[in-house]
Amino acid sequence: MHDYIDKNNIFQKCMRAGGYIIPLQYPLNVRTYKNVFNHGFSLYGENQQIISESSFYRGVPDYNLLNASVTTNIHPHRIKNILVHDLYFWLGVVHQHFGHFMVSSLSRLWALKNQPKKIKIAYLGEPPDHLFKVPHIAYIFNQLGIQKHQLKNITETTLFKQIVIAERSFNENHSISHMYKKTLERVYPSLSNNSLQKEYIYISKSRLSRGVRSIENEYQLCDYLTSKGIKCIFPEQLSFIDQLKLWQTNQNFVGFSSSAFHMAAIFGNKNIIIINDSYGASSNHILGDMVANNNTLNIYSSQIIHKGKTDNFSSVTQISDIEKFGDSIIEVIDKFQQKKIKAQLSPAKLFSVSSKVFKNEPLGENISRLGIPTQISIYDRDEGKNVTPEGAISGNLTGSYQCHTKTENNPWWQIEYKDLYLFTELRIYNRLESDTVKNRSNLLSILVSDDGVNFTEVHRKKDQDISFGGLNGDPYRLLPINNIIGRFIRIQIIGQTFLHFDQVEVFGEKV
């Protein structure tokens, strides 16, 4: 096993995003609508059809509307509560939770600065007096020029005679625009990198009283890291202003994934190590880091024990060995500073032969054409199609085969790389002409090797009765749970048969 991250093998690199990663590269829309009304989390026109820009979307578990439907049965001319005289700006749902407030509630405010100063702001949530008692909401709203008297929380179905709707600059776990960063730049000033403190700050969740995740013995980890010279900070003990100052004046941060790391998007250009509780990194963090130009290493550990949930936390975990865990954090910090470990590449610019956006896309790059493909044999009948191993990495999907072996016992196709690579995903696109040819790939094995002689099986597809697709958008995806490192990666069909694929894609990064 390669001790790529740390010598104790406590940590592995996260290999994919836990959601979608889509950069919005077009100018966002902002329009003034007349005679629209709210229902659920969205606004609707007189035709009872949803105005999509007004809605709340989230990318997990799937990319869908929240608390809304495409059409509504509400009759617009029977609504009694009508706002006639004022022009309104639609803010949508205002979350009090810091993370959701940052990535969702702020997502339309890029367009507010170009609106009349006296415009009213319609939203869904607690009354204005309540919101302005929440420190981060009060401070950020004030910085963005939003006054309490402008806000109107909508508590019943209401018809707006005139309302401005801006497209969201951040859709949770899905997509982001650079306009999101433009909004955050107005919250607090950044300092030049030369003036920032360089020691790593550990951001602890151990003083958090409720939330999504809790590490019940993290306080012991903080004690151990402190004894080793790592400064631990507990955000819950700081005022919101002091938290902003902390992120403003420091360059380097480490800690378990939490909403506190959304602070990094306000300032940008930070070096961050995020410890995740699974092999999928938070897509919200990746999206924010993408527009803020943060250099973030996402890692996870199998040495975290999942213990269930409590009334205050959806997930409670425990670190199995505090000292080893702490030593490995320090080792990762050292390697990251020396650039012996690099931050993952975002899937945002990932090249793929398929136009489909897949959930949980790999971190890294498409390395399919960086190696030399070979296969056990070459099909000896001329059917007017490519049969050599290079065809499987041509970069074009056809629905038929582009590599083809003779009938062999356990036929294989592989790619050899000059250097060691961390393989983050493998996609196999099947030929689709008939069920007979599709089913030949139903049993397959994935193997890796450092030398091309000694191979280790890292995955086996065992469901003999289930075939997979290709050009139709349903390729076979190997999504590793553990880091797989090697110079060779081989696909082997189990049994006496042909091997014939349309395309093969390998994703990863050079070790």
pLDDT tier for residue 323 given thresholds of 50, 70 and 90: very high
Determine, yes or no, domain membership for 402: yes
Window from 128-142, 285-299, 325-339, 346-360 with minimum mean pLDDT: 346-360
Residue 452 lies in a domain: yes
Our count of domains for the chain comes to 3
Q: Does 423 map to a domain?
A: yes
Same domain, 160 and 211: no
Is 265 within 8 Å of 178 (Cβ atoms)?
A: no
Q: Are residues 331 and 295 in the same domain?
A: yes
Q: Can you give the pLDDT at residue 289?
A: 96
Give, for 506, the enclosing helix (H) or strand (E): strand 500-510
pLDDT tier for residue 3 given thresholds of 50, 70 and 90: low
- CATH number, domain of 308, equals 3.40.50
Q: What percent of the chain has pLDDT over 70?
A: 99
DSSP 89-129: EEEEE---SHHHIIIIITTTGGGGGGS-TT-EEEEESS-HH
| pLDDT (mean) for 85-104 | 95
Residues 237 and 98 in one domain: no
With respect to residue 441, please indicate whether it lies within any of the assigned structural domains: yes
Range of the structural domain that residue 406 is part of: 365-510
Query: Higher pLDDT residue, 346 or 144?
Result: 144
Whether residue 262 has pLDDT greater than 80: yes
- Residue that is last in its domain, among 168, 200, 230: 168
**pLDDT tens digit sequence for 31-70:** 999 999 999 999 999 999 999 999 999 988 888 889 999 9
* Confidence check: pLDDT of 130 > 80: yes
Model pTM score: 0.93
Contact between 33 and 374 (Cβ < 8 Å): no
220 is a domain residue: yes
Average pLDDT of the chain, as a whole number: 94
Domain shared by 164 and 193, yes or no: no
Residue 42: name the closest of 64, 20, 19 by CA.
64
pLDDT at 350: 86
Task: Give the CA distances from residue 262 to residues 100, 162, 199, in Å, rounded to whole numbers and listed in that order.
Answer: 10, 34, 20
The predicted structure's pLDDT at residue 4 = 78
Q: What is the C-alpha separation between 170 and 111, in angstroms, rounded?
A: 13
Same domain, yes or no: 97 and 229: no
CATH number at residue 454: 2.60.120.260
Residue 422 CA to its chain's centroid (Å): 19
Q: For the segment 427-483, what is each residue's pLDDT rounded down to a tens digit?
A: 999 999 999 999 999 999 999 999 999 999 999 998 888 999 999 999 999 999 889
DSSP letter string, 439-495:
HTTSSEEEEEESSSSS-EEEEEE--TT----BTTS--EEE--SS-EEEEEEEEEE-S
Both 199 and 327 in one domain: the answer is yes
Report the alpha-carbon distance of residue 227 to residue 229 in Å, rounded: 6
Of the candidates 368, 412, 407, 411, the one whose C-alpha atom is nearest the C-alpha of residue 390 is: 368
Q: Which residues contact 340 (CB under 8 A, 6 or more apart)?
A: none
Where does the pLDDT of residue 84 fall: very low under 50, low under 70, confident under 90, or very high at 90 and above? confident
* DSSP letter string, 249-293: HEEEEEEES-GGGGGHHHH---EEEEEESSSEEPHHHHHHHHHHT
Pairwise CA distance, residues 340 & 351, whole Å: 26
One domain for residues 392 and 285: no
pLDDT of res. 377: 98
**Among 381, 382, 383, 388, which residue's Cα sits nearest to residue 403?**
388
Tell me if 455 is assigned to some domain. yes
405 and 453 co-located in one domain: yes
Is 278 part of a structural domain of the chain? yes
User: Above 90 in pLDDT, residue 87?
Assistant: yes
Assess if residue 214 is contained within a domain. yes
Beta partners for residue 412, in sequence order: 492
DSSP 377: -
pLDDT of 349 reads: 78
pLDDT tens-digit series, residues 329-388: 999 999 999 999 999 988 887 899 999 888 899 999 999 999 999 999 999 998 999 999
Which residues 6+ apart lie within 8 Å of 192 measured at CB? none
What lies within 8 Å, CB to CB, of 156 at 6+ separation is: 81
